[in-house]
Amino acid sequence: MNPDDQTSSDNGAHASGESYNRGVENNKTPYGLPVVDSCVTCPFHTERIFCNLSKSALQGLDALSSTASYPKGAVLFVQGQNPRGVFVLCHGRVKMTASSSEGKSIILRIAGAGELIGLPGTLSGRPYEVTAEAFEPIQASFIPRVPFLQFLREHGDAALSVAQILTEIYQATYREVRYLGLSGSAEGKLARFILDFTEKSAPTNGQTSTTLTLTHEEIAEMIGTSRETVSRLFATFKRKKLIEVRGATLIVGNKINLEKLAEA
């Protein structure tokens, strides 16, 4: 899908962490998601940081978790809410947004499958610092705060995974600071965003490509500028052969010049 053509759902239904689809067959699940009924039998658990645990730890997670599917736009928790616990994201992505009292908002990061949502607040006991909204239909397992903390005390491998996840959250926050504070121009911020967004993709024939699933509006919220500016700069970057956009595929055509813009 072309990022310019994507639209956001108005569904703002709040998630309760209640399980309503455990044990449902894949072809009958809400939103077409391949629902995972158990951490132990999840085919992806060895690929995901927090889920790559011992069998006994995974069984302990199953006993604590309630699993549900949510539509795009569903809100798992809101900024300022007292922490109820964490969500383990099984499928889909979640948008983490911070807002000001004036109504301005910025996307701090987009969490993917295998990540823990609401982790800092759950560990510290302080209110959630962001609003977590389903970026697309998702499946997530909710674990209440007190049982989760006890689980970490009893399973060192899980606690180590949590430390690694916190490091990744820190790195994502640092990248956001670079977008907002260290790039002097809007084109520098967008260039840095593109470089960061594609950094994990392996180059092919000297070019790096990735699937861009964010709208121009969402990119603008991540780098602190307007949608109109992002759209204009995408057109400029394409005209200068810095990037190509083929449908939902973003291709970096001139990484060196993008790096020069990002450092300016």
Q: What is the pLDDT of residue 50?
A: 64
pTM: 0.68
Q: Which of 3-17, 123-137, 212-226 has the lowest mean pLDDT?
A: 3-17
Residues 6+ apart with CB under 8 A from 46: 52
Which among 103, 158, 140 has a CA at the least distance from the CA of 20?
140
* CATH classification code of 184-263: 1.10.10.10
By CB neighbour count within 10 A (0-12 exposed, 13-18 middle, 19+ buried), where does 248 fall? middle
Q: What is the pLDDT of residue 37?
A: 63
Give the H or E element holding residue 261: helix 255-263
Is pLDDT of 1 > 60?
no
The residue-averaged pLDDT of 182-186 equals 73
Instruction: Look up residue 31 and give its two tokens.
Output: 């939103």
Every domain of the chain with CATH number 1.10.10.10 lies at 184-263
Is pLDDT of 38 > 50?
yes
pLDDT in tens, 2-36: 344 433 333 333 333 333 333 334 444 566 666 66
Give the H or E element holding residue 171: helix 156-177
Domain 9-179 has CATH 2.60.120.10: yes
Going 133 to 243 to 209 to 256, the CA torsion angle's sign is: negative
Every domain of the chain with CATH number 2.60.120.10 lies at 9-179
> Taking the CB of residue 178, how many other CB atoms lie within 10 A of it?
17
**Interatomic CA distance for residues 203 and 210, integer angstroms:** 10
Tokens 């997530």 belong to residue? 140
Are the C-beta atoms of residues 143 and 189 closer than 8 Å to each other? no
**Interatomic CA distance for residues 61 and 123, integer angstroms:** 17
